[in-house]
Structure 1
Amino acid sequence: MPQTPFAPIRRFILAGLTVAGLLLPAAGAAARPTADGSPAKAPRTLRSVAFLVVDGVYNTELTAPLDVFQHVRFHSADDWPETFLVSPDGRSVTSFEGLTIQPDYSFANAPPIDLLVVPSAEGSMTSDLDNQALLDWVRRTGRKARHVMSLCDGAFVLAEAGLLDGLEATTFPGDQDRFEARFTRVKLVRDVIFVDAGHALTSVGGARSFDVALWLVEQLYGVKAARGIGQGLVLDWDATSVPHRLARP
């Protein structure tokens, strides 16, 4: 190709951008190799999803979002989160419906958590709100996490830990008056299935506990992954058909 008068100038500009670190690699370029020479993997969207389990946890509010996030691995290639259960002391707990649940970790040895899920439990509006060790762990872990999520009355625990202050949130419809009276720094949203307030997502729970989990999967991994997971669970997922409130700051 004939040399143009602008070629030296163009080479100079490109060289300057490269030195300055402003010239990005072309799409599809190989990642910088690791120490052993293999290509580096891109960081996962979510490294981990942890589910808080205590005695009296309700089956549906635990298993619905757990099903959703465990199935991400079948719809998102290498980008899927580890899922695990955490109880206060690492010992087994008994659900409200009588299932024995063996957690993977305790508060003391749980690994870093990107999404903390707090299902409703029998004591979510009573004894759990007086359990300072539990609240301290939820507060500390939730502040470090990318997201926190509650199902049903799990919102009471998040709110008591201060993680919903200044945000919009929802909870089980029959307990919304009680929630609104207790947590005056949280704006209660009624007549929706879930609220996405950015860092915190809250749901009415029950059988609708699938919805908020599928919504977050759609936001993080795309609508195809969310609908694929829904199909596997025999759920016709369509966010536009689910009443919800998008209230991100």
Structure 2
Amino acid sequence: MRNKILYFTLALTISLMGCGRKKNVPEIDKPQRTINVGFVVVDGVYNSELMAPYDIFHHVRFHIDTAMHVFTVAPDSGMVKTFEGISFKADHHFDDPALPDIDVLVLPSAENSMGSDLEDGRLIDFVREKGDEASFVVSLCDGAFVLAEAGLLDSLLVTTFPEDVDKLQSQYPLLELMKKVSFVHDGKAITSAGGALSYEPALYLVEMIYGKEVAKKVGNGLVITWSASLAPYEHGPKAMQYKPIW
């Protein structure tokens, strides 16, 4: 079980490190349609890594007409139980003919993200297929292991839960790992430390897609002071060149 105190200590430390470091959010074409955001959920998914970014993306609808359609996708049609004990039924399952095309694929961390989930061929195949098709892939905490197993992070600069950075590097040597950051954007991938920092990569993506004012309003609605220019994150070499096609 993860040490929750570490999360908040990390959040404070990383936030202080980010002060005064200004970075430009990549300029991309703005979508003229609703963007589909699919969260892959499995048993043992952690509440914070699921609900923090979900909350951010869901709140876009209050500030822009062409908002995000946010939904969950599970391996099957049964109930999903989070690590903390909340049970729910996902909106879709892997074989659901009504599953929308996914523009942003999100992988929240789960209890077995570094273990049995990586041996689940059906899960990895689904993530690989939908990740290849998506305009962006986002991981929270150890969700990066699942993206890496699917081959979606090869040759990119990435991060994960601080205690697991070295393990991710040794397990997937084609990745370049960065420590002591909230999140990293490289190519179409945004990987993050997770925990209490899970709001930040979602706000960053909202700003990149919809602009600074929309991201600021979404943050204000959740009592979050958001400024990408001061956020403790890094760009990989392919971040500024990547241009999604909506």
User: If the TM-score is normalised by the length of the shorter chain, which range does it land in?
Assistant: 0.7 to 0.9
1:198 deviates by: 2.6
Among candidates 215, 221, 226, match of residue 226 of structure 1: 215
In 2, Cα distance between the equivalents of 1:103 and 1:195? 28
Pairing 1:91–2:105 present: no
Pairing 1:59–2:19 present: no
Q: Tell me if structure 1 keeps the 8 A contact 2:41–2:73.
A: yes
Letter of the aligned partner of 1:208 in structure 2?
Answer: L
1:240 deviates by: 2.2
Q: Percent identity?
A: 50
C-alpha distance after superposition, 1:129-173 (max 9, x if no partner): 000000000000000000000000000000000000011100000
Identify the structure with bigger relative contact order (alpha carbons < 8 Å, sequence gap 6+). 2
SS of match in other structure, 2:164: helix
Aligned residue in 1 for 2:8 = none
Pairing 1:72–2:34 present: no
Letter of the aligned partner of 1:100 in structure 2?
Answer: S
1:46 deviates by: 5.0
Aligned residue in 2 for 1:108 = 95
- Superposed counterparts of 1:159-198, under 5 Å: 159-198=148-187
Q: Tell me if structure 2 keeps the 8 A contact 1:139–1:163.
A: yes
**Structure 2 residue runs without a partner (length 5+):** 1-29, 239-246
C-alpha distance after superposition, 1:91-145 (max 9, x if no partner): 2110000001210101112221000000000000000000000000000000000
Per the alignment, do residues 221 and 45 of structure 1 end up closer, same or farther by CA in structure 2, a change over 3 Å counting? farther
Pairing 1:236–2:225 present: yes
Per the alignment, do residues 182 and 162 of structure 1 end up closer, same or farther by CA in structure 2, a change over 3 Å counting? same
RMSD value, Cα = 1.3
Letter of the aligned partner of 2:36 in structure 1?
Answer: S
In 2, Cα distance between the equivalents of 1:71 and 1:246? 25
Task: State the TM-score, normalizing by the size of structure 2.
Answer: 0.82
Pairing 1:140–2:129 present: yes
C-alpha distance after superposition, 1:202-248 (max 9, x if no partner): 00000100000000000110111111111111111111222111115
**Structure 1 residue runs without a partner (length 5+):** 1-41
Q: Tell me if structure 2 keeps the 8 A contact 1:192–1:243.
A: yes
In 1, Cα distance between the equivalents of 2:237 and 2:73? 28
Task: State the TM-score, normalizing by the size of structure 1.
Answer: 0.81
Among candidates 118, 124, 127, match of residue 129 of structure 1: 118
SS of match in other structure, 1:48: strand
Pairing 1:49–2:37 present: yes
Displaced runs of 4 or more, over 2 A: 42-47
Letter of the aligned partner of 1:89 in structure 2?
Answer: D
Q: Tell me if structure 2 keeps the 8 A contact 1:46–1:115.
A: no
1:45 deviates by: 5.2
1:47 deviates by: 2.2
Aligned length: 207
C-alpha distance after superposition, 1:165-198 (max 9, x if no partner): 0111000001111111101001001111100113
Q: Tell me if structure 2 keeps the 8 A contact 1:45–1:220.
A: no
Larger radius of gyration: 1
SS of match in other structure, 2:198: helix
In 2, Cα distance between the equivalents of 1:248 and 1:132? 31
In 2, Cα distance between the equivalents of 1:121 and 1:44? 33
